[in-house]
Chains A and B, each alone.
Chain A
């Protein structure tokens, strides 16, 4: 068998050109999803465009109002500063992924492009209305995560497009990410929740993972929390927190699979949503 082409571009434009010039070529980032599929015979790439050396894709740029996170930023990069302070929920999510080996290789862009319902960065990205910047042969476009992720492991990323970066707005205030799985390390979530409390605009944003085909917002729970929180004391009463959990549970559309039953997922997300809110704001006495 003759060799297939593997491009190791140094820039995004080179990567786009390589994709366009090589029929059937597939993008490879950290390989933590890609290689599992190859190893188990589910993917047989005719050619590969490898992004690991595209320096402009591996960066975290903070402005006063936003963070721009390059698609090839690894979980290890995201778990620490500057995101740990500016986006504690995203950094926390990154630190729960897989193991050190997986966090050293796996990337934000790979998580978005894989679009697994259990993708751990997705609840926070959906909660923050993250924008995805994509570049293809005809130029750039920006779409929201909910526009991009269309179903279980399905996205609107065209075969000739590269996800360049993810843009999220800063929200002053506490954030929390919690997930439920069978043990602490190396867990694919059976339910996950991201809660963002914006103390400036006085709103609460909630993103859910593993409880529907795509990452979800829990809008009713958000509206309820906005009212239930005493914003001056930054606290919430017991009944308010409990109701928040119920509303989150009613927002989801879980399935039963080999990891969990739908009933357990609904129960678990209710518990962790309430806990996440209570970690963000104090319990009112």
Chain B
């Protein structure tokens, strides 16, 4: 995994660190099961920036860059986090799943359909983040009650729907999944 350490990295550091050294301008990330090379990056780039601007994955949205809106939600080692608060280079060695990966695998197809059928997509900006967050909670707690769902989605903001339609979409998915009508 460690990329070649360039000459200007202090020698002592190199020696002291040995394992687990990553150099911030060239590294590989495991995104949706594929190793993707990142080249020429700055240390301070977030995972959100790298996904969108370097790897062309624009599903995670950038709205606030301060963890407030959840539109950048991704799964990092299976846990939902804000990609805008992950230093991209610190994600080396971790499993990153974005909404694109979840979509391609069909895991969230019913969530997407429920959002459309419930009118939970209006401008759509918040939708990818919500899809990731809904996927996360229903995977852990398939029968989550209303309060639990609200709590699970409390890190995702929507300026259009007033949330009612989003909660309705979640209930729809729960009904489909409970009745085995998964699609």
Q: List the interface of chain A (C-beta within 8 A of B).
A: 1-10, 14, 17-18, 20-23, 28, 30-32, 34-36, 38-40, 43-48, 50, 52-53, 76, 98-102, 104-105, 184-186
Q: List the interface of chain B (C-beta within 8 A of A).
A: 3, 5-6, 8-10, 12-13, 15-17, 19-26, 42-44, 46, 65-68, 70, 73, 79-82, 84-87, 89-90, 92-93, 133, 136, 151-152, 154-156
Residue of A with least CB distance to B1? A8
Contacts of A38 in B (CB 8 A): 44, 46, 87
Contact A2 B20, beta carbon cutoff 8 Å:
no
Question: What's the least CB distance linking A51 to chain B, in Å?
Answer: 9
Residue of B with least CB distance to A76? B79
Known contacts A21-B13, A35-B87, A53-B93; A102/B155 CB under 8 A? yes
A-B contact pairs, 23 of them (CB 8 A): A2-B25, A3-B23, A4-B23, A4-B24, A4-B25, A5-B10, A6-B43, A7-B13, A18-B17, A20-B16, A28-B87, A30-B85, A32-B67, A34-B87, A36-B65, A38-B87, A46-B43, A48-B24, A99-B67, A99-B154, A101-B85, A185-B155, A186-B154
Contact A100 B90, beta carbon cutoff 8 Å:
no
Contacts of B152 in A (CB 8 A): 100
Contact B85 A35, beta carbon cutoff 8 Å:
yes
Determine the distance from Cα of A48 to Cα of B3 in the docked complex, in whole angstroms. Answer: 16
Contact B82 A39, beta carbon cutoff 8 Å:
no
Determine the distance from Cα of A30 to Cα of B16 in the docked complex, in whole angstroms. Answer: 24
Going nearest first, the 4 A-B pairs with the smallest beta carbon separation are A99-B155, A3-B25, A185-B154, A3-B23
Known contacts A18-B16, A104-B81; A99/B70 CB under 8 A? yes
Determine the distance from Cα of A222 to Cα of B166 in the docked complex, in whole angstroms. Answer: 46
Known contacts A32-B67, A101-B80; A17/B155 CB under 8 A? no
Out of A3, A44, A105, which one reaches B86, CB within 8 Å?
Answer: A105
Out of A9, A48, A99, which one reaches B43, CB within 8 Å?
Answer: A48
Determine the distance from Cα of A20 to Cα of B5 in the docked complex, in whole angstroms. Answer: 18
Contact A8 B22, beta carbon cutoff 8 Å:
yes
Contact A8 B10, beta carbon cutoff 8 Å:
no
Contact A101 B155, beta carbon cutoff 8 Å:
yes
Contacts of A44 in B (CB 8 A): 44
> What 4 additional pairs, Cβ within 8 angstroms, besides A18-B13, A39-B66, A99-B155?
A6-B87, A21-B17, A31-B85, A36-B65
